[in-house]
Structure 1
Amino acid sequence: MSPIGSGVFKPEEGTRALPEPVKQIFLPPAATAAPPPQYGDVDALCHLDRMYVRIKKELFSKPGDAWQYLKIGTCAVNEDTADHYYFLYYLKGCGIKYEEKEDYSTFSNTLTYKPPSTGPILRELPFSVNVRCKYYKHFYAYARGYHPDLKAGTVFAELSLYSQFTLRPYDDKWEPLKPSDSFTIGKPMYFAVKVPPTNCAERTYINQCFITPTSDANANPRYTVVDNNGCMVDSKASTSSKFIPHADKTTLRFSIGAFVFRDSAVLPTGGWALYLHCEIIEGPVTPSPSLKSCTYDKGTKKWTELYDNTASVCSCCEATCPSAVPADSRKMVSSDPWKLGMPSEQRIEKAAVVPDLTEADYSVDGFEKY
């Protein structure tokens, strides 16, 4: 008999306090409540004869209209709340596919979003998501551990100033965009042109800027965002596209409404990679029709200069502005690539899979039970 059993359970006369080891056996601590389930941007809920799918409205730039372009297989949205769109359908409709495996069975379908497009670019991203209900025939568990051997070290790299200017993408806090980060379709992308401190520049200007899907500045397709010697032409199409003031006028900041080229609308693994190419020049602090940073204001329907309220320097943006630099002496500067993806891309890319659930399991806030 174990040490616990040899003493604490021995019969005796009278009463005494219950020994601590016995308390632990007969009065175990109350179990803590499980944390509430965490839901994603696209959720699937499976029952014996139906599939419920919901998607967050915040994923869309125009959430009130997105339902028109959403489908699960061949079926349309048939329920919505302030925060979600819902598809509530039985497993025998909407073009659902059944597949029988040795250990499980699946019912799968595809959630698609196909907004309308105009022109060569898209600022609302189409996507498709595989949605699956998976029912296991056998249940088992196993564990496997792997502990990598990490080795620290130091890497030395030679730095070189390859250009008079630097053109880089930034996040909304004006921190350099990390390789793991990405911009979101329909939201602003941020950029800055900087001049090395050794230069005696007074102010930095952009003659033209365009975006391509490759590092080749001569590649097609391309989309022009700045043209006509300093006119942010894309500001007429997107309010996110504009020049942004900065205390140091040798640094030129601006934003561009994120988009994807229409011919590459299928989401590749890891998102799209885009490149910005700009023709940059140094000039005097006072702008001119040849050297300026003009943004179109949709409210006033007028062009405004970044640091000078003199409207005359921007008036040529609706015509042809004179050039201050001969074409053969201009230099194009290209940015590092950046990634572009849809909202919550990593979570949406994952197929929504839910194993065999009971009615208690699918009684989730926001889902209608049949």
Structure 2
Amino acid sequence: MKLSIIFCLLCVASAAVQDLNWHMQPAAGRFGDQGPDQLAVQEPADVLQEKQSFTEPLSWRYPAPPAEEAPLFPPDFKLKVPTAADSVSVVCGESSVRVEAKKDLLGIGKPVQTADVTLGGCPATAEDPEAQALVFESELHGCGSQLLMSEDSFIYAFTLLYTPSPLGDSQIVRTRDVTVNIECHYPRKHDVSSRQLVPTWTPFSATKASEESLYFSFRLMTDDWQFSRPSAQFLLGDVMKFEVSVKQFYHIPLRVMVDSCVATTVPNVDTVPRYTFLGNNGCLFDSQLTDSNSQFLPRSQDDRLQFEVEAFRFQQDHSGMIYITCHLRATAAPAAVDATSKACSFSNGWREASGSHEVCTCCDTDCGTGSQSHLTGTGAQWEQEMAVGPIIVKDRPLR
């Protein structure tokens, strides 16, 4: 009995030693690279697989430039069909002629200068303030008339001439020379007849660029500002609508500015003729120089700026083609609107697009050059020069 108990105890002790030896086996036998003095803990297979996935190399790339977006054009866009201005009337008397010409001679909403209109070299004899018209009266043999003869009529031919004066001290005009042929027909016995006149015009936009991963856009817009304008053609008296914007990506919020714009007949700002209609760090001079309605629109977004310019052409250039080169700039939006970062236009005084009108007081003098620092601090700024064109400007027809 004692021997049996002793034998059983020896068996139990032997089994315990074997079990302990199994748990203490070296890592080379069961757990990879663990040392012989470490206890290995078996982990579930899904945990091991998850850990293994983090051993793969990670990669990161700087964001690529955005793909070119297809321009959004209005589906039903159509060019305006020029309409002839009905602005001249004639009354032929027995021995004289009376011609009335509306001050809005070209039908574009702009009155002409009285001295610019003559009847065969003769100035207007009166003005009708109620009808907003110039009145010319002449004997049939006066004011450069010509007597023509047909089989059954005498014809007195006159010429109404409009020669626009330059706009202020600039080299541009917004109208063209107009010649209106007027005839008074007298059939051998009695009676009268008369005839009348005709003008036209056009532009375009598009270009883009980037600096420091900012993407500027300069577009010609439709009248409702909803789409890029698919045509580059305008008539004299129309308004060109431009929109400047900047895409920000991962940058701090930005405010976009237009510091200057120059119009030329070729895509080179150093050529002549040239017309600087915007300058002095954001002053739109055109309305002040030429009495136009050109203006910045009130700013609704810091990264977007809209402005309007009445279409024009150079006085002695008959192609009607112009290019516009503007210097665009983006600054940090929290920076204050000041004399060197503004958008001012003139209408009974200077007005600023975001409402800070006091910063426009330097537009008649010198607004300075401002900070030239780049990419650091609150004065950081990004700049780009962009060209728009060719812009074709045509005269509006008269009949």
TM-score band, normalised by shorter chain: 0.5 to 0.7
Find the aligned partners of 1:323 and 1:194 in 2 and give their Cα distance. Answer: 21
2-side partners of 1:339 and 1:41: how far apart? 25
The DSSP-based 3-state class of the residue aligned with 1:174 is coil
Q: Which residue of 2 aligns with 1:222?
A: 274
Percent of aligned pairs sharing the same letter = 21
Change (3 A) 1:104 1:42: same
1:280 counterpart (303, 306, 328): 328
SS at match of 2:115: helix
Secondary structure at 2:370 match in 1? coil
C-alpha distance after superposition, 1:293-322 (max 9, x if no partner):
2316675x6x66432638569759724222
Residue ranges of structure 1 left out of the alignment (5+ in a row): 1-37, 138-159, 351-370
For residues 213 and 54 of structure 1, the distance between their equivalents in structure 2, rounded to whole angstroms, comes to 36
CA 1:177/1:101 → structure 2, altered by over 3 Å: closer, same or farther?
Answer: farther
**In structure 1, C-alpha distance between the alignment counterparts of 2:86 and 2:163, rounded to whole Å:** 21
TM-score (norm. length: structure 2): 0.54
Greater C-alpha radius of gyration: 2
- Give me the CA root mean square deviation: 4.3
Secondary structure of 2:266's match? coil
CA contact (8 A) 2:257 2:343 kept: no
Distance in 1 (alpha carbons) for counterparts of 2:100 and 2:354: 47
Match of residue 147 from structure 2: 98
Structure-to-structure mapping, 1:236-255, within 5 angstroms:
236-237=288-289, 238=291, 240-255=293-308
Partner residue in 1 for 2:387: 334
SS at match of 1:68: helix
- Following superposition, the deviation at residue 173 of structure 1 comes to 3.9
Matched, 1:307 2:358: no
Structural mapping, 1:136-285, within 5 Å: 163=209, 164-170=215-221, 173-174=224-225, 176=229, 178-184=231-237, 189-195=240-246, 202-234=254-286, 236-237=288-289, 238=291, 240-256=293-309, 259-264=312-317, 268=318, 272-285=320-333
Q: Provide closer, same or farther for how the CA distance between residues 211 and 67 of structure 1 changes in structure 2, counting only shifts above 3 A.
A: same
Q: 1:104 to 1:124 in 2, by over 3 A?
A: same
Is the Cα–Cα contact under 8 Å of residues 277 and 335 in structure 1 kept in the other structure?
yes
Q: Secondary structure at the match of 2:281?
A: coil
CA change 1:256–1:89 in 2 (3 A) is same
SS in structure 2 of the partner of residue 216 of structure 1: coil
Structure 1 distance, partners of 2:246, 2:324, is 17
Change in 2 beyond 3 A, CA 1:50/1:105: same
Distance in 1, matches of 2:184 and 2:302, equals 59
Higher relative contact order (CA 8 A, sep 6+): 1
Q: 1:262 to 1:77 in 2, by over 3 A?
A: same
Q: Does the Cα contact within 8 Å between 1:239 and 1:257 map onto a contact in 2?
A: yes
